[in-house]
Amino acid sequence: MSFLSLIAALLVEHFYPLNSRLQIYHLFTRYTNFLELQFNAEQHKHGMIAWILAALPPVIIVTVIYFLLFSISPFLAWAWNAVVLYATMGFKYFSNINAAIAEALKNNDVEQARSQLAKWTGKDAGELSEGEIARLCIEQVFICSHRQIFGAIAWFVVLSPLGPMGAVLYRITSILVRKWGDMSVNDLGEFGKFATRIFDWMDWVPSRLTAISFAIVGDFEDAVYCWRSQAALWMHKTQGILLASGAGALGVKLGDPIHQNGELVFRPELGVGEDADFDYMHSAVSLVWRTLVLWLVVLLLLHLAKLMGN
């Protein structure tokens, strides 16, 4: 049932992609802003309390609804899984933004590309060159694909007996680490460390599965080489693994310094091969597509094996 729910969610999302106006995310953001305002005293225990209050209610709600629906009809529980998965994933959302930025770069409309990228990442992009925009977009594609698809799928499968609990818990954790755990953006002191610790724990295995999958569907030798030699140099180790493996699999150079906020921001080099451009931006999405197909094939085989075993 979990595999069929996943297929249904992906099909619906393909034809009716999520967008930034999804009301549930706005409500959750307002709720986390309220919790931050009430609990942020730059102490670890306050960050832990805020995280629990942010994560547990929605996780408990979706799980209780799943079991209530399952008691009525397994089909209703299956449909609930699909609805929740649809709300937690957003492949077409970030791939469409990436395509729009690539089109702007192709048409030499750098200002439009900068504007779209700033809206996507929430960071200043007014001084970025075309190459820097392309590199940042490809990096964002790899990170978003993992956090919005592969990480959510991994935890959904692991906790599938509990309905969509795993996918919701992972997505909430990834949202909270981006909001509270990024010390380079938020001056939160100890408050954000609990969110970072929980996400690092939850993401340890899924991030490496995604990185291995990038290597399998791309240039395996270069992906493994970049993973082993470059990932540890990145500011965030987990992101370094994803980006180094993805860059090596794609055969493109990522990382490197960028112009942002009036200064040159140092970043280590990732990947091998050609400099990033709008063509590689499309190739990055194709790499993610191939990775998704690989995961679905593996999950299908596991699903069939389970059926045969029963």
Under DSSP, the state recorded for 192 is G
Confidence of residue 183 (pLDDT cuts 50, 70, 90): very low
What separation in angstroms does the CA of 284 have from each of 61, 71, 135?
36, 43, 11
Residue with tokens 């750098």: 110
Rounded to an integer, what distance in angstroms lies between the CA atom of residue 169 and that of residue 155?
8
Structure tokens at 235: 């500011």
Q: Which residues contact 281 (CB under 8 A, 6 or more apart)?
A: 98, 99, 101, 102, 105, 134, 137, 138, 141
Question: Strand pairing partners for 254?
Answer: 270
Structure tokens at 60: 């408990």
Q: What is the pLDDT of residues 56-80, one digit of tens each?
A: 999 999 999 999 999 999 999 999 9
Question: Strand pairing partners for 252?
Answer: 274
Q: Which residues contact 49 (CB under 8 A, 6 or more apart)?
A: 39
Confidence of residue 145 (pLDDT cuts 50, 70, 90): very high
Is residue 182 pLDDT above 80, yes or no? no
Output the pLDDT for position 137.
96
Strand order in the sheet with 274-275: 269-271, 252-255, 274-275
CB 215 within 8 A of CB 227: yes
The whole-number average pLDDT for the span 95-123 is: 92
Q: What is the pLDDT of residues 272-295, one digit of tens each?
A: 999 999 999 999 999 999 999 999
For the chain, give the mean pLDDT.
90
Q: What is the pTM of this model?
A: 0.91
